[in-house]
Amino acid sequence: MLIAETGARNGLNLYAEQGGALHRLIERTVAGLDDPSFFAARSGYKQQWGRTLNAAKLAWMEPYYARFKDPAMIKWIRKFRPLGHTRQGGDQTLLFGIKKLPAE
């Protein structure tokens, strides 16, 4: 995500590469958070988030949401804010976060 953001800020639209593959990956990932049956069917294993889903794992949502305003992300952003990960530059909510999110 941050490579695509760096590209966008330098006039390179990596979001459009391979027919928008990054958009499709993100759409499938967020849909899988809401309904893990797609991944369960393909992996053969029940998908369990339990304690493994956290702000660090969803930190990529802040820059993507800031640019594209995907409404499917709002509930996840709200639930785990502040989103951040040391490998992504720290607090992504501080760097990219939109303070006033619309209703889901």
Entry field: residues in the chain: 104
pLDDT tens sequence across 36-49: 999 999 999 988 87
Q: pTM to 2 decimals? A: 0.89
- The residue among 1 and 19 whose pLDDT is bigger is 19
- What the block records as the tokens of 79 is 């639930």
The predicted pLDDT at position 104 comes to 64
> Which sequence spans correspond to the domains of the chain?
2-96
Axis-axis angle for helices 61-68, 2-9 (nearest 10): 40
Going by their DSSP bridges, the two strands 84-85 and 90-91 should be labelled as antiparallel
- What the block records as the tokens of 12 is 């390179």
pLDDT tens sequence across 17-67: 999 999 999 999 999 999 999 999 999 998 887 778 999 999 999 999 999
